[in-house]
Structure 1
Amino acid sequence: MIDTIGQASFQRTLFAVFVLFVFGTSGIEVVLEFAAGETLDSMADDLLRLIFSGVVLLVFVRDYLAQQRALADLRGQLEMARGQLARFDTQSQIIARQYRAVMQQQFDAWRLTASEQDVVLMLLKGLSFREIAKLRETREKTVRQQASSVYQKAGVGSRTELAAWFFDDLLGPQFDHQVST
């Protein structure tokens, strides 16, 4: 895409140089013919070329200035978005640290070992038992046993219930609802 933009820009520049050349040569020709005493009728073709190329140049200049204003506006919007993103990123990091602290308190309350804590975090990230085993350089059976131990200590029956336990707090009471039967 950048090559296409660069090529289009090059083509516009080349065309502008051509129009400027036509404008300049037509202007010089009109001045020289006028100085030589030629009539306006005999210079009509040169005058039309001068006027037409002048109009085209004015259109180019107007479009260029409009593009420069639009580019300045876009740069301003980009800087504003970068500032908002930086603030959002900082806030997200603070919230993430706070939530990890809450999770650690719960891990401590459940008396999870460091290995079990690692397994919980990877389960919450959606990794399979096989992927966790590979990352932890252990057997899949070991990971399954650690997960079962976590489920028992947490009082849940599955990975889904474990994830729900942590995310329920994030969603807050406004999302609690009674299931009608």
Structure 2
Amino acid sequence: MPKSRPTFLWSLFSLQILCTVFFMIDFGHDVVGTPGAPRWAGDFMEGAVAVALLLGTVFVGYELRLVRLREQRMRQQIDVASGAFADMLHTQFDAWGLTEAEREVALLGIKGYSIAEIASLRNTKEGTIKAQNAAVYRKAGVSGRLQLLAHFVEDLMGGPLIDRPAAAEANPSA
């Protein structure tokens, strides 16, 4: 949305508030019967305000339609990205030669479950989960869960976030 569009929407909102106030005051004058300007001037003003409200309503409806379409597109993009991430996981799991149990443990670990939670979900002992995690990390060539997760995040981002050799030169104590 261009910068001028939110300004326009706020201006439209303000105009609609003014129109509402006008109609409320006009209604009060009609009820009380206060004499004022000639009737044709009031009718002209009411007509102008009604046209402004009509145009505002049409524009708001159009904007709501655009927002709904944008939301649908974003949901589709998220679905595609989720499917692509799942495909990437399974492709990498195949390349590493993970067993079905190791795949499940790795996936639950990537999702953020603790060892105890994974053991509970899989109806097994924590020691078994630790051994399966160790096998996953060994096959993946990483030292732990964070490096495993970082491997997939780097793939999503299109490569490493930091050039490792350059980072090591910049910080030799690391």
TM-score for both structures, normalised by structure 1: 0.63
- Residues 115, 19 of structure 1: CA spacing in aligned structure 2 closer, same or farther, 3 A cutoff? farther
Letter matched to residue 118 of structure 1: E
Deviation at 1:142, TM superposition (A): 2.5
The answer for the alignment partner of 1:70 in structure 2 is: 56
What's the RMSD between the two structures over aligned residues? Answer: 3.2
SS in 1 for 2:35: helix
What is the CA–CA distance in structure 1 between the aligned matches of 2:55 and 2:157, rounded to whole Å? 44
CA deviations on 1:49-102 (whole Å, 9 max, x unpaired) are 2217x7888877766654443343232222112212212222232232223222
SS in 1 for 2:98: coil
Paired residues of 1:19 and 1:56 also in contact (CA < 8 A): no
- Residues 138, 20 of structure 1: CA spacing in aligned structure 2 closer, same or farther, 3 A cutoff? farther
What is the CA–CA distance in structure 1 between the aligned matches of 2:123 and 2:70, rounded to whole Å? 41
Paired residues of 1:20 and 1:57 also in contact (CA < 8 A): no
Paired residues of 1:130 and 1:140 also in contact (CA < 8 A): yes
What is the CA–CA distance in structure 1 between the aligned matches of 2:130 and 2:99, rounded to whole Å? 15
Structure whose CA Rg is larger: 1
The answer for the alignment partner of 1:129 in structure 2 is: 115
What is the CA–CA distance in structure 2 between the aligned matches of 1:56 and 1:134, rounded to whole Å? 75
TM-score for both structures, normalised by structure 2: 0.65
Paired residues of 1:119 and 1:143 also in contact (CA < 8 A): yes
The answer for the alignment partner of 1:120 in structure 2 is: 106
- Can you give the 5+ residue segments of structure 2 that lack an aligned partner in the other structure? 1-20
* The 10-residue stretch of structure 1 (99-108 or 69-78) with the greater mean CA deviation from structure 2: 69-78
What is the CA–CA distance in structure 2 between the aligned matches of 1:138 and 1:172, rounded to whole Å? 36
Identity of aligned residues (%): 28
Aligned length: 146
User: Does 2:31 align with 1:21?
Assistant: yes
Deviation at 1:124, TM superposition (A): 1.3
